[in-house]
């Protein structure tokens, strides 16, 4: 029997991309293979994101395009997976008639069964959130991989309830995955030639596993994975400042293969706004954590997420965001305009009262500042030599390779005899705000 074909598109965070690899694994077992052509698919899945309104708009638009494939293939099944499926549930079916399946992030094991439920034209829906699903024993299929770097999901869900955020509502309760299954996945990846794993979760540093009286926290887990092989690099994302312990920083500092890069979303530099956001730390507390990172690892890169124009943000609050960015001198940042999300704490309690053009102006200022900070950060690396893990040919030239250093900066350099998966010492000769340019030593 020829296999049926699955076409899958993924939007949103790394966690969603990692989930799509689990979806493909489950679908392989159900007799489907991945195709990169939507036109030849028997099933189309769109794994969606709800974090900002724009993310959802993109998916609505894409669904309109994808449903045209039903014209030449009336049996085509279109499924919406992930966060939008969880948030909108039934409503999605009502608003887009071409959708046949709605499946939330904890119901992927049921996918083959749900597909067979749609065979007689019925709609299938499962958006039940779980308290213990971690897909622990499944082997994700890295169907769109460079063969060098991979994500490993170590926990799911979030219970921080930041006021602006939809994640706790669409991803459910926090739960950690069995550490043994995480280590074996990392070990297998190394055996297959992978040289870097990123441990993923909405809030990785609150990882917590208990079994028969023994306890594994994130610092212990990170150490276990780092000890598997000194030639396997380990990264992690994302951390919440409130859980960034000295114990974790010590473990990072003590292992060369744990990459020296921390993504520590600040969201705002103003204490008044941080409190409204329910972030549970102050500016001072955040800066103390930054000082701790610098103490343990002077060469550690620090990146952040920051939101412009949260409810009631004044010009003065905005100046505090600008000043914290300068003070930390972030190497990299993801920057957003506040987007009100239905049913979040902010939507219920506060008015989205910063005018759109003020949000845009503040975001623009933040982006321009970060461009300068990133450029300055890269300029500080001129003349330094870094160990680079090669990932792929450079996008711009087949004679160059692209990889990253421990600090997560992209470095491009002439190929020589090197190939993806190699560790190469590269001296930095030039840079832009986004890329280091160098030469193998
Ligand atoms: N509006 C704008 N940005 C948001 N983020 C989360 N929720 C919102 C929202 N409602 C940002 C935060 C978070 C990142 C993943 O997305 O900065 O860290
Ligand atoms: Fe988007 Fe958040 Fe869902 Fe990731 S967890 S896909 S960022 S809504």
**Residues 177-186 as b or e (16 or more Cβ within 10 Å = b):** bebebbbebb
* End position of a domain, from candidates 85, 111, 126: 126
133 domain-assigned? no
In angstroms, what is the span from residue 312 Cα to ligand 1's centroid?
16
pLDDT at 80 (0 to 100): 98
Q: Are 400 and 359 in a shared domain?
A: no
137 domain-assigned? no
Those residues whose C-beta lies under 8 Å from the C-beta of residue 163, and which sit 6 or more positions away, are: 276, 277, 278, 344, 345, 346, 349, 350
The token duo for 405 is 């250093």
CATH number at residue 274: 3.80.30.20
* End position of a domain, from candidates 81, 111, 126: 126
Q: Are 396 and 374 in a shared domain?
A: no
Q: Are 98 and 184 in a shared domain?
A: no
Q: Are 192 and 267 in a shared domain?
A: yes
CATH number at residue 87: 3.40.50.12160
Q: Which ligand 1 atom lies nearest to the CA of residue 334?
A: 17
Pocket probe for ligand 1: among 336, 345, 367, the residue whose CB has the most ligand atoms within 8 Å is: 336
427 domain-assigned? yes
Residue 166, ligand 2, Cβ within 6 A:
yes
132 domain-assigned? no
260 domain-assigned? yes
267 domain-assigned? yes
Residue 339, ligand 1, Cβ within 6 A:
yes
197 domain-assigned? yes
Total structural domains in the chain? 3
Q: Are 215 and 353 in a shared domain?
A: yes
Average pLDDT by consecutive 10-residue portion of the chain (441 residues)? 92 97 97 97 98 97 97 96 97 95 98 93 96 96 97 96 97 96 98 98 94 93 98 97 96 98 98 98 98 98 98 98 98 98 97 98 98 98 98 95 98 98 98 98 94
β-strand pairing of 400-404 with 410-414: antiparallel
Cα–Cα distances in angstroms (integers) from residue 85 to residues 54, 214, 347, in the given order: 16, 37, 20
CATH number at residue 425: 2.40.50.140
CA-nearest residue, atom 2 of ligand 1: 338
Q: Which ligand 2 atom lies nearest to the CA of residue 13?
A: 4
Q: Are 179 and 248 in a shared domain?
A: yes
Q: Are 99 and 167 in a shared domain?
A: no
Q: Are 340 and 415 in a shared domain?
A: no
pLDDT at 121 (0 to 100): 86
Residue 265, ligand 1, Cβ within 6 A:
yes
Q: Are 108 and 193 in a shared domain?
A: no
The token duo for 306 is 């920051």
Pocket probe for ligand 1: among 268, 269, 286, 305, the residue whose CB has the most ligand atoms within 8 Å is: 305
Q: Are 331 and 414 in a shared domain?
A: no
* End position of a domain, from candidates 359, 379, 399: 379
Q: By residue range, what is the domain housing residue 372?
A: 149-379
Pocket probe for ligand 2: among 9, 10, 13, the residue whose CB has the most ligand atoms within 8 Å is: 13
270 domain-assigned? yes
Ligand nearest to the Cα of 335, by number: 1
pLDDT at 120 (0 to 100): 81
Q: Are 106 and 244 in a shared domain?
A: no
Q: Name residue, tokens 């160990």.
A: 387
Residue 15, ligand 2, Cβ within 6 A:
yes
Q: Are 393 and 358 in a shared domain?
A: no
């Amino acid at each position: 029997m020829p296999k049926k074909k699955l076409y899958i598109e993924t939007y949103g965070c790394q966690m969603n991309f990692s989930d799509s690899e689990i979806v493909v694994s489950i679908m392989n077992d159900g007799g489907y293979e991945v195709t990169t052509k939507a036109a030849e698919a028997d099933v189309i899945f769109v794994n969606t994101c709800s974090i900002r309104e724009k993310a959802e708009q993109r998916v609505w638009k894409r669904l309109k395009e994808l449903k045209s494939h039903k014209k030449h293939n009336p049996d085509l099944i279109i499924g919406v997976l992930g966060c939008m499926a969880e948030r909108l549930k039934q409503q999605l079916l009502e608003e887009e008639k071409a959708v046949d399946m709605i499946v939330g992030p904890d119901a992927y094991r049921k996918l083959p069964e749900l597909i067979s439920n749609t065979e007689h034209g019925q709609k299938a829906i499962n958006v039940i959130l779980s308290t213990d699903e971690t897909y622990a024993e499944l082997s994700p299929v890295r169907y769109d991989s460079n063969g060098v770097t991979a994500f490993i999901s170590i926990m799911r869900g979030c219970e921080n309830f930041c006021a602006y955020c939809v994640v706790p509502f669409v991803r459910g309760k926090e739960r950690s995955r069995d550490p043994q299954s995480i280590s074996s996945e990392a070990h297998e990846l190394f055996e297959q030639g992978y040289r870097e794993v990123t441990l993923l979760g909405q809030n990785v540093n609150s990882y917590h596993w208990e079994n028969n009286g023994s306890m594994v926290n994130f610092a212990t887990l990170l150490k276990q994975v780092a000890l598997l092989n000194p030639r396997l690099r380990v990264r992690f994302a994302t951390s919440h400042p409130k859980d960034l312990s000295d114990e974790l920083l010590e473990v990072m500092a003590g292992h060369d293969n744990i990459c020296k890069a921390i993504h520590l979303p600040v969201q705002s530099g103003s204490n008044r706004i941080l409190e409204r956001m329910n972030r549970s730390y102050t500016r001072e507390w955040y800066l103390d954590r930054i000082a701790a990172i610098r103490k343990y690892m002077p060469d550690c890169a620090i990146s952040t997420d920051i939101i412009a124009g949260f409810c009631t943000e004044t010009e003065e609050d905005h100046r505090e965001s600008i000043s914290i960015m300068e003070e930390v001198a972030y190497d990299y940042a993801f920057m957003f305009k506040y987007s009100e999300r239905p049913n979040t704490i902010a939507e219920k309690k506060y008015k989205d009262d910063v005018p759109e053009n003020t949000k845009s102006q503040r975001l623009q200022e933040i982006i321009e500042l970060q461009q300068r900070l990133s450029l300055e950060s890269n300029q500080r690396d001129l003349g330094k030599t870094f160990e680079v893990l090669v990932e792929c040919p450079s996008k711009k030239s087949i004679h160059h390779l692209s990889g990253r250093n421990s600090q997560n900066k992209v470095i491009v350099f002439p190929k020589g005899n090197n190939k993806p998966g190699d560790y190469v010492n590269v001296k930095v000769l030039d840079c832009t705000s986004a890329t280091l340019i160098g030469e193998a030593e």
